[in-house]
Amino acid sequence: MRGRIARVLGFALALGLAADTAFAARVVDPASARRAVSSPVVVAQDGELAALAAAGRATELAARLERIAHDATLNDVAQEWLLDRGLHALARGAPSPAARASVARLALRTPLVYARIDPDHGDRATPLYDAGATSRFVLRHWDRVAARDVAAAEIGAGRLAAILRFAGAAEDDPARDGIADAYRAAPPAALAGQRAAVADALAQGRPVDALGLIIAERLADAALFGLVFDYADEPVALAAIPAVARTLDDVAALALLARASRRADVASAAVLEIGRLAVRDAAARQFLFESVADPDIGPSAATALARLGDPAVSAEVGRRLAASQDEATRRRLVLALKLDASPAARDELARFVKTGAGSAPLQKEIRQWLER
């Protein structure tokens, strides 16, 4: 008996529930869950929820969900399923104050039904449905949409208030996402009216880098991309790297990516993106050849050269390897040839071995690699 109690308590802890809630929750198998939501009564209620959502009757739909949440005649699986379905339907419309209050109350709900979704990945139970989490998603979604609509009106009117709100909002504030949505959807002419204010805010170190990237890409604005690379936080600067390549011509893209390669936190990504340009652009290939000697970005440049898989590139790497007097640079050039591994690259490595140049350890490493 003591062993059984210990197992029950251990399972409650694994669910991560407080003691009182742990024994109220239960674990069901997927087949039983499907049967529970397939009854005519449950299907009919689901249809009624969908009809209320389609008619835009948010207050009635939210009130119905609160009644479902306290309906003792419903199976717990069906109850949770209906709440989840209804909440997602509610999110697609505009909220009323009463609907928002109802969803805020449902956001305090804890999961009642759990399932072992994949026993092969551990004997763990996860919520089958989580109406509380879905409610919190709905509230955040409504906040995001409201912020988007306000910002869209301001951008259209040429006002700059959205920039200030974006800069002052917390990172996890859904209003930030809503404002960004408005900038993504705004006409280019309206964005042009916002551009100077965003650029100034970026240069002042204000956290508007995401807006700067959106405007730079929408307007194909090389100068604004440059400010993003100079001032943006790492995640936005990383996102700007492929955006530059798909938005600007090769000459402008190469100049900006070279600028980004001087930032330690995004340098490798910038050099690898230059490698993609190098497939068609001789200036990008030249940048990579010269960058191999740079101890900071040299390994990334070697990797980018290897990815080209071009015999002419292998020949140039081999020529530079034969001429190099610096051991570290030699190693990066050898890395480019080893990562390429094409017949042309192997020939260049074999030719280098025959010269006997470089350190004894490097010569040994190359010989061993060629013998594989």
Mean pLDDT of each 10-residue bin along the chain, 372 residues long: 37 38 67 90 96 96 96 93 97 95 96 78 80 97 98 97 96 96 98 98 96 98 97 97 97 98 97 97 98 97 97 96 95 96 94 94 94 88
Q: Which of 129, 157, 187 finishes a domain?
A: 129
Q: Do the beta carbons of residue 30 and residue 118 sit within 8 Å?
A: no
* Residue at which a domain ends, from 112, 129, 146: 129
Does 362 reside within a domain?
yes
Model pLDDT, residue 118:
67
Spatial distance between the Cα atoms of 302 and 288, rounded to a whole number of angstroms: 7
How far is 347 from 352, CA to CA, in rounded Å? 9
Task: State residue 120's pLDDT score.
Answer: 65
Q: Is residue 80 situated within a structural domain?
A: yes
> pLDDT for 307-318, tens place per residue?
999 999 999 999
In a domain, 304, yes or no: yes
Structure confidence at residue 12 (pLDDT): 39
Positive or negative: CA dihedral 30, 91, 209, 245: positive
DSSP string, 279-341: TT-HHHHHHHHHHTT-TTTHHHHHHHHHHH--HHHHHHHHHHHHH---HHHHHHHHHHHHHH-
Of the candidates 70, 75, 66, 53, which has an alpha carbon nearest to the alpha carbon of residue 135?
Answer: 66
The pLDDT assigned to 125 comes to: 81
In a domain, 261, yes or no: yes
pLDDT in tens, 57-69: 999 999 999 999 9
pLDDT of residue 1: 35
Q: Is there a domain that residue 164 lies in?
A: no
Residue 272 lies in a domain: yes
Which of 181, 217, 24, 246 minimizes the C-alpha distance to 113? 24
Dist CA 249 CA 247 (whole Å): 7
Overall number of domains in the chain: 2
Do the beta carbons of residue 166 and residue 192 sit within 8 Å? no
β-sheet bridge partners, residue 113: 26
pTM of the model: 0.85
Residue 122: predicted pLDDT: 63
Does residue 179 fall inside a structural domain? Answer: no
Q: Would you state the pLDDT for residue 19?
A: 35
Residue type, 80: E
Q: What per-residue confidence (pLDDT) applies to 7?
A: 37
| Domain encompassing residue 42 | 26-129
Does 240 fall in a domain?
no
